[in-house]
Amino acid sequence: MKYLDEYRAKEAAEGLSREIRRIITRPWTIMEICGGQTHAIVKFGIDELLPEDITLVHGPGCPVCVTSLELIDKAIEIASRSEAIFCSFGDMLRVPGSKKDLLSVKASGGDVRIVYSPLDALKIAKDNPAKQVVFFAVGFETTAPANAMAVYQAHKEGVKNFSILVSHVLVPPAMEAILSSPNNRVQGFLAAGHVCTVMGTTEYYPIAQKYRVPVVVTGFEPLDILQGILMCIKQLEEGRWVVENQYTRSVKEEGNSQAQKLIKEIFEIVPRKWRGIGEIVKSGLGLREPYRLFDAERRFALGDIKTQESPECISGLILQGVKKPYECAAFGKKCTPEHPLGATMVSSEGACAAYYRYRGLKVNKTKSRKNSTKR
């Protein structure tokens, strides 16, 4: 298949659904890691094509959603300073901090700019030598190469007024944190295809064996996801736990070696706080010593910032697959895209945003009752 419509073909989707129904013999719970997969599942009703014995839970694969509240507040602090031009992807601007968001800073006169690449921010720095230009480097392994390249170029060209606020997180440690939790429900994973395009599949092998869970690297279209679910269910039914690659048109076992080399040159593995989850050891990327001149936290001498999360927001439980968005008392009431309590309602990959956009306040009561009995 080479056209988008082919990956959304109704007949093929129904065929995969029938095959899943044919082979399943008991209940299973599968987590899709990526928020892009979550949106496809909810938008196209993929979960409603599945038998009742399959429960899909949504993982922490939304980089906007898991960026810690401390870093959001630090971004707001930097953006509020007169000497700074703060650059970010657009979906970060409405993520709530403790008291306000970046969009509020912009509305109050702060120089906050939406860019489409960290290299755009580097160009702004070259064009504005009297200003300190900061790029909000958010993302999983997928965006790390581009952010690494911006730092590499700034270092090579001697651009002194450019820095990045680093909020990179890594997928495998988050999977291990979920699997080792006493609240874990996950029996199999659909891994994020775009992350594996960069990093390959080998880093999932130890996880599959240690925790005895199938890991299927999966794409983002309806047929990708249904095929990934089918592959995962086959393993579960057969008592196997290996890493399989559904997304072969993009992912190779070894990944992108040049991108990995650049990441290792610029970044090192560090502990990282995840919003709503807490700190996970060895789950983030930070700048290596030769490049720490470009660390915005150091440049602006940002110390610890006291934060306060909304007590009504359960996004942490949603990101760990323990709760669904509609199980939150604030969903669609006190928490909406216009007035979000947490990042999962704002981000284009957030689970709460997906349910609100595509299903509003409608709840599948049958599945809701079923999910409640499984916890």
The answer on pLDDT for 369 being more than 60 is: no
**How far is it, in rounded angstroms, from Cα 290 to Cα 268?**
11
Residue-wise pLDDT tens digits, 7-18: 899 999 999 999
**How far is it, in rounded angstroms, from Cα 177 to Cα 26?**
26
What are φ and ψ of residue 100, in 5° steps?
-155, -175
Q: Where are the alpha helices (DSSP H) in the chain?
A: 10-23, 35-44, 46-49, 63-66, 69-79, 102-107, 118-127, 144-157, 171-179, 193-199, 205-211, 222-238, 257-266, 296-299, 315-319, 351-359, 365-374
> Could you tell me if 89 and 139 are in contact, meaning their C-beta atoms sit under 8 angstroms apart?
no
Longest Cα pair distance anywhere in the chain, in angstroms?
A: 66
The answer on pLDDT for 370 being more than 50 is: no
Q: Residue written as tokens 């909304």?
A: 310
> Could you tell me if 220 and 251 are in contact, meaning their C-beta atoms sit under 8 angstroms apart?
no
The answer on pLDDT for 368 being more than 50 is: no
Residue 295: both structure tokens together: 């660390």
Residue-wise pLDDT tens digits, 354-363: 999 999 876 5
With a pLDDT cut of 70, the percent of the chain lying above it is 95
Residue-wise pLDDT tens digits, 141-171: 999 999 999 999 999 999 999 999 999 999 9
Structural domains of the chain, with CATH: 4-62+178-245 (3.40.50.11750), 65-170+255-299 (3.40.50.11740), 315-374 (no CATH)
Residue-wise pLDDT tens digits, 207-264: 999 999 999 999 999 999 999 999 999 999 999 999 999 999 999 999 999 999 999 9
What 8-state DSSP symbol labels residue 285?
Answer: E
